[in-house]
Homo-oligomer: A and B are copies of this chain.
């Protein structure tokens, strides 16, 4: 009676591939798995090392190519803080991208609050904008570094 709504990251990816006539390969599975399982904010190099450990022949370029696909379909987002390397962020908690970021030690605390959904809709409505998702980053100092 109804289509399965694509909700799981894996489904989103597979559907995206299908929609573009792309194929699903062993390497794609491995990279997707590693990415989704990873700690937050993984670098390309970290991801490469993880997959290369299981699949030593896998190439760096393949990681890049697939990370680009993951970004295109909305599963990966780049973030860069200060001089740190670029990192890719997996989709946490179904659209919760709210972070407290320590300016000193770089620690990132993930938080969540409903208020922001309302705020999002309110701001969007005021600017003829259809919101899809948001990202909130609060910079400051964590308990240890204060």
* Chain A interface (Cβ < 8 Å from any Cβ of B): 68, 71, 78, 80, 82-83, 86, 98, 100, 102-103, 109, 111, 113, 115-116, 119-120, 122-124, 126-143, 146
Q: Are B86 and A80 in contact (CB under 8 A)?
A: yes
Contact B124 A140 (CB under 8 A): yes
Return chain B residues, CB-CB under 8 Å to A142: 127-129
Residues of B within 8 A of A119 (CB): 113, 115-116, 119, 136
Whether A120 pairs with B132 at a CB distance below 8 angstroms is: no
Task: Please state if B146 and A140 are interface contacts (CB–CB under 8 Å).
Answer: no
C-alpha spacing A136/B86, complex, angstroms:
19
CB distance from A102 to the nearest CB of B (A): 8
The CA-CA distance from A132 to B138 in the complex, in Å, is 7
Contact A127 to B109, CB < 8 A, known contacts A116-B119, A119-B115: yes
The minimal Cβ–Cβ distance linking A27 to chain B, given in whole angstroms, is 21
Whether B128 contacts A111 by the Cβ 8 Å rule is no
Q: Is the CB of B123 within 8 A of A141?
A: no
Does B133 contact A135, Cβ atoms closer than 8 Å?
no
Chain B residues, Cβ within 8 Å of A140 = 124, 129-133
From A134, which residue of chain B is reached at the shortest CB distance? B138
Q: Provide the bound-state CA to CA distance between A115 and B118, in Å.
A: 10
Residue on B with the closest CB to A115?
B119
Q: Are A139 and B143 in contact, CB atoms less than 8 angstroms apart?
A: no
Q: A98-B123, A115-B115, A123-B113 are in contact. Are A134 and B132 (CB under 8 A)?
A: no
